Amino acid sequence: MGWLTKILKGSSYKGHHHGKYQEERMWDEARNSVDELTDVEKEEIDCAIALSLAEEDHKGKNVIDDDSQSEEDEHLARAQPEEDEHLARAQPEEDEHLAKVQLEEDEQLAKALQESMFVESPPRYDSGNIFQPFPFFSSGGYRICAGCKTEIGHGRFLSCMGAVWHPECFRCRACNQPITDYEFSMSGNHPYHKSCYKEQNHPRCDVCKNYIPTNSAGLIEYRAHPFWLQKYCPSHERDRTPRCCSCERMEPTDTRYLSLDDGRKLCLECLDSAIMDTHECQPLYLEIQGFYEGLNMKVEQQVPMLLVERQALNEAMEGEKNGHHHLPETRGLCLSEEQTVTTILRRPRIGAGYRIIDMITEPYRLSRRCEVTAILVLYGLPRLLTGSILAHEMMHAWLRLKGYPNLRPEVEEGICQVLAHMWLESEIYSIPGSDVASSSSSSPSSSSSSSSNTSSKKGKRSDFEKKLGEFFKHQIESDTSSAYGEGFRLGNQAVLKYGLKRTLDHIRMTGSFP
């Protein structure tokens, strides 16, 4: 089972994602008092106003200084034609008009100089680049807020993200509250409080529920289950966090689980359909036999089926000469040797601390009446997993009882996995409450099977149990071992193309898949 390692980049304030936008942020306070002007600035304004007024007096006055000048003017006036006299009378009016225009221009200039002393200097980025104000000003020269689209005027404003804002208009995309911190995060061209961004984007561990920490490179690294997509901190692989022996999910710290006496851990969801003793498993065993009958592959001999502990299974595996076992843990075994096996006689109880107690076992002597002496299955597994193991081991028994030659591991284990996969499909896609299991899509030549037996734990399946069945199928399909994984893929491809019967006939004749 392959595990995924994910590495994500951190949020913007770490230098990842969209950059450090906090460097663009700068608060400016406009000058709003003449008292803030320097003495030099005040003198320049007074001088400009005085010059303007003096020029007005000079141009607006028409004063005659002495009588001699008057007499000379009268003499010249009598000598001029009437046209000149008319122009002379119009000249004072024109001079007065020009004086007024000049006065207005001087007053506007003085006002502009005065206003320029009140307007704050152009904002700058922290890096020292001068902020370009042109895109943010209206035709009247006022700043326009990028949030409310109104004039900012004089007062505090915020320059960031290539625009200017009222402080109350620069808001977090997540909580819609103003961002007053110096640093903020960006995602999709939208600003966020650093805390809001972390809440929305920083992954949490599904085990400890904390934010997954960054590694030494400042990147977020976590493990993910390839099927359940459960995310967790890498440290939980080393801190003895329990993992369910059935679904392989890591158990959250606040979740209870069952401790089996052989050291395995079982989550409560898998426990709900778990089969715990040999007697409880007999109806499921009869159902598997009916499934084989529906495929015209009836097992004539009565082969004992026993549920055993892990230690008993390992001991039986050591005494078995034939068979190929899937490490690191074997969950089922088809025996062909005579030996004594310890089987679970009665379902154990759950005691304090969710531990198995009062397990009753007994020795069972296997005698060789045929090529197969027994089928062993590990106890404490959910019904669908137990059934797929039984279907797999039943195929081993069928091959031996039908006289198939010794096959290469990828052929024998591969075709056994094909039958386990077919049974899982028939269970997952069957109609709840119906005794009819649909034929597998892996076997075009197989017929539908029916059974009047009531299997252990069978009934209306929960959504989790359906998901669990998909997981067990996924395990078979994604197995990376050469015998179980590659063997299944080759065998399933042959069954899809030629049908189950023709594939088995070819295996009997050639010892390989067609």
pLDDT of residue 47: 60
The pLDDT of residue 216 is above 50: yes
Distances (CA, A) of 296 to 370, 380, 413, 445: 21, 31, 20, 10
Radius of gyration, alpha carbons of the chain: 46
pLDDT of residue 415: 97
**What mean pLDDT comes out for the span 337-355?**
80
> 């390992």: which residue's tokens?
314
User: What gap in Å lies between CA 351 and CA 54, rounded to an integer?
Assistant: 107
Per DSSP, the residues of 131-171 read P--GGGB-TTS-BB-TTT-SB--SS-EEEETTEEE-GGG-B
pLDDT of residue 101: 63
User: What gap in Å lies between CA 343 and CA 90, rounded to an integer?
Assistant: 131
The pLDDT of residue 95 is above 80: no
Residue 381: count of CB within 10 angstroms of its CB: 26
User: What gap in Å lies between CA 274 and CA 276, rounded to an integer?
Assistant: 6
Are the C-beta atoms of residues 294 and 422 closer than 8 Å to each other?
no
User: What gap in Å lies between CA 329 and CA 157, rounded to an integer?
Assistant: 67
Are the C-beta atoms of residues 5 and 94 closer than 8 Å to each other?
no
User: In the 8-state DSSP scheme, what is residue 193?
Assistant: -
pLDDT of residue 279: 93
**What mean pLDDT comes out for the span 482-499?**
96
> 């990147």: which residue's tokens?
219
* Element at 5 (helix H, strand E): strand 4-8
Per DSSP, the residues of 122-134 read PPB-TTSPBP--G
**What mean pLDDT comes out for the span 22-33?**
37
**What mean pLDDT comes out for the span 147-151?**
87
* Element at 60 (helix H, strand E): helix 39-60
pLDDT of residue 88: 54
* Residue predicted with more confidence, 326 or 364: 364
Per DSSP, the residues of 200-254 read HHSPBPTTT-SBPPB-TTS-EEEEE-TTT--EE-GGGGTTT--BBTTT-PBPPTT
pLDDT of residue 4: 56
Give the number of residues written for the chain: 514
- Band (pLDDT 50/70/90 cuts) for residue 65 is very low
* Residue predicted with more confidence, 203 or 49: 203
* Residue predicted with more confidence, 127 or 144: 144
Angle at 390 between CA 366 and CA 425, to 5 degrees: 170
User: In the 8-state DSSP scheme, what is residue 452?
Assistant: -
pLDDT of residue 282: 95
Are the C-beta atoms of residues 304 and 366 closer than 8 Å to each other?
yes
Are the C-beta atoms of residues 270 and 382 closer than 8 Å to each other?
yes
400 Cα distance to chain centroid: 48
pLDDT of residue 498: 96
User: What gap in Å lies between CA 344 and CA 336, rounded to an integer?
Assistant: 20
User: What gap in Å lies between CA 224 and CA 155, rounded to an integer?
Assistant: 51
Torsion of the alpha carbons at 487, 492, 494 and 499, rounded to the nearest 10: 140
pLDDT tens, position by position, 298-307: 998 889 999 9
pTM for the model stands at: 0.62
The pLDDT of residue 59 is above 50: no
pLDDT tens, position by position, 309-345: 988 888 888 866 555 555 457 899 999 887 888 888 7
The pLDDT of residue 14 is above 50: no
Per DSSP, the residues of 317-377 read HHT-SS----SS---EEEE-S--EEEEEEEPPEE-TTSBEE--EEEEEE---SSS--EEEE
| HSE-up (13 A, CA, CB side) for residue 383 | 25
- CA diameter of the chain: 159
Highest mean pLDDT among 188-202, 351-365, 376-390, 395-409: 376-390
pLDDT tens, position by position, 439-450: 344 444 443 333
Q: What is the mean pLDDT of the chain?
A: 75
pLDDT of residue 91: 63
Percent of the chain with pLDDT over 70: 65
SS3 17: coil
Q: Which of 77-86, 181-190, 398-407, 420-429 has the lowest mean pLDDT?
A: 77-86
Residues 6+ apart with CB under 8 A from 89: none
Q: Which of 127-136, 148-157, 212-221, 472-481 has the lowest mean pLDDT?
A: 127-136
HEC string of 390-418 equals HHHHHHHHHHHHCCCCCCCHHHHHHHHHH
Distances (CA, A) of 343 to 57, 139, 283, 427, 483: 123, 91, 17, 27, 28
Per DSSP, the residues of 417-445 read HHHHHHHHHHHHSSPTT-SEEPPPTT-TT
Q: Are strands 220-224 and 4-8 parallel, antiparallel or unpaired?
A: antiparallel
